[in-house]
Chains A and B, each alone.
Chain A
């Protein structure tokens, strides 16, 4: 268990039958989560990253949903596990931090009670002991006067404090996998920095693995070990932080990296943007889904490119793009420390 992956996801697919047809939110997602690592799942809204994360917790089992593939956690198959089994896992083994701390805590229940409820659901701990544990947890996630705050209602706390309560709740039973779905999106930058630091130091202390779902590449650069970039339901590129940031292989990743504003650099005349919009998940283009927005499209892109290692000597860096590696390195626009979407050779530089 020490060296093997904690969580093994293979060809995970999730689709929903909706009015506009079958919405394929997650398609052929494959990855391993190693103990103690932070895996960032990056993509724009609607790319399926949250559905993927919630599916691992069995939170997308709607009547109109269909699942494919497998997700193994410590010998248990999560995708078709029974409700009873899932209940044992949820919160205790795999815990989740949701995006919006305003709506994910019960507004009419004291925060302490909400955490005690979870502890007692999994462990036969007497109330006083559970309460003591809650006070310690709240203190550990950086809530001042933690002992008093056990009896606070969510509305009495600021957004940052509520997010800390969410983290304390997620940690209360010592999970080995923490799924954080946009944990800092709703927060101010100074608070965001504090929360990220908190997640990082808790990972260091407890050795829990973290799946961090986010659209913010700045956050990713700061705390992730590995990155999976998702586009229109598929992982289009996967690799270590350095591989993705300094040798990105997929044009979508180039565009994503190029469109972030950087405060530590001189400002460009125009912000580089990816033209067009992500496709609807109910009506995705054939072949490579990024094709209609990609300046490097060619005939082969009509076939779905598989997610495989394409760089010699780096088996961990996978991507879904038909362009030869050499060509990619030539085409993407690299200024020192910056990467742009690039242009098709021959196209006039505007």
Chain B
């Protein structure tokens, strides 16, 4: 849209590549809360997605991570145009679909498919697997006689037997059902698949199977994934970039590996320390302690206390400040913009972690910053450890 002198948030992997497949600009999705008898008044708004700018490149996997209620699902649904945005724009292949009606959306819906979290609730229990997978084909007018072959091929593709087409969903385990959900999403050969917590309901050993399957399918078919998850351990294996969301806003956007070795935002760091490591010795060494839960930090990494605040009335300034161990007066007053660090790593924090003074001073305000954010970039003083980073 604007002059492309400065790389946008989506240009990390393929600089100079064509336009991102999906582009979201300053997107806001608010849900009104109405109350009253006879005449309903709007008494408040749930700020589900609050000014998010994000691009997804063709062929990449973007991991979208945050705790429940952070707006990640609403954002992914808004991209699919399943909920209507309040403000901002959504582009798919460069075309603005923010206001597109049913007829204009239909050809695009072929290209974006979804895999849902709950493999038990997302498959019609009264339909045979074959019918379930055939449905999108039928809706989009595929010739009837081709369908059975296509269904068999899709089932094979996701690692099920073609004969399974005649069974009902209840005859399958959770992992197998999720494979059916993937086969259904693949039926129309989409370019984008939104995966909304596709493995959260599955056992660990089965999770790995599904992640590997998704990986293979992406390699073979050049798919683009938006992978939504509530914790950072799962997305890591599949993502090229990861966006961390909190209370409707982006906290950090980073190349996948760097997020784990060098989390800049204290919230990301909190999410990482909260994940228990399946290694008793390493856990003891890490000396994790809970803050706010009655424990006293004894030199270990503090686990963030408290809970996310109510999105009806988000805190002023940085939305994470009430739970943040590094919060200062500045954080309470001024919303931090998304600062661009080396390697296309973005973080919205006044007191960044794991970066040197030089790096901090060299940051620029990324154009994807929320419009309400201030102009104050981190000045590097905090990075020197005056707040106790050692």
Contacts and interface: CB of A to CB of B under 8 A. Distances in A.
Interface string A140-170: 1010000000000000001111000000000
B276 A222 contact: yes
Contacts of A255: 205
Interface string A255-294: 1110111111001101111110100000000000000000
A44 B303 contact: no
Nearest to B271: A189
Contacts of B280: 221-222, 241-242, 245
Q: Which of B203, B204, B208, B290 has the most CB of A within 10 A?
A: B204
Given A257-B278, A270-B212, A190 B67 contact: yes
Contact of A270 (B204, B215, B230, B274): B215
A-B pairs with lowest CB-CB distance, top 5: A218-B276, A273-B208, A197-B290, A271-B208, A44-B203
Contact of B207 (A220, A221, A257, A259): A259
Given A44-B203, A44-B205, A277-B173, A337 B282 contact: yes
A206 interface: no
B277 interface: yes
A159 B205 contact: no
A309 interface: no
Interface of B: 67-68, 173-176, 203-209, 211-212, 215, 230-234, 236-237, 257, 260, 270-283, 288-290, 292-295, 303-305, 307
B157 to A, nearest CB: 17
B278 to A, nearest CB: 4
A201 interface: yes
Given A44-B205, A273-B212, A193 B278 contact: no
A158 B232 CA distance: 22
Interface in A317-338: 337
Interface in A179-201: 188-194, 196-198, 201
Contacts of B230: 188-189
A263 B278 contact: no
A222 B337 CA distance: 36
A114 B305 CA distance: 26
Contact of B276 (A142, A161, A219, A337): A219
A247 interface: no
Nearest to B259: A263
19 contacts: A44-B206, A45-B203, A190-B307, A193-B288, A194-B292, A197-B289, A216-B276, A219-B276, A221-B280, A242-B281, A246-B281, A255-B205, A260-B204, A261-B208, A263-B260, A271-B211, A271-B237, A273-B212, A277-B173
B265 to A, nearest CB: 14
Contacts of B304: 190
A234 interface: no
Given A215-B203, A218-B277, A221-B278, 12 more contacts: A142-B294, A194-B290, A197-B289, A197-B303, A216-B276, A242-B281, A245-B279, A255-B205, A256-B204, A259-B208, A263-B232, A277-B173
Interface string A201-215: 100000000000001
A217 interface: yes
A263 B294 contact: no
B174 to A, nearest CB: 7
A261 B233 contact: yes
A159 B67 CA distance: 12
B282 A190 contact: no
Given A193-B303, A194-B303, A262 B278 contact: yes
Nearest to A197: B290
Given A142-B293, A189-B67, A263-B232, A160 B278 contact: no
Contacts of A259: 204-205, 207-208
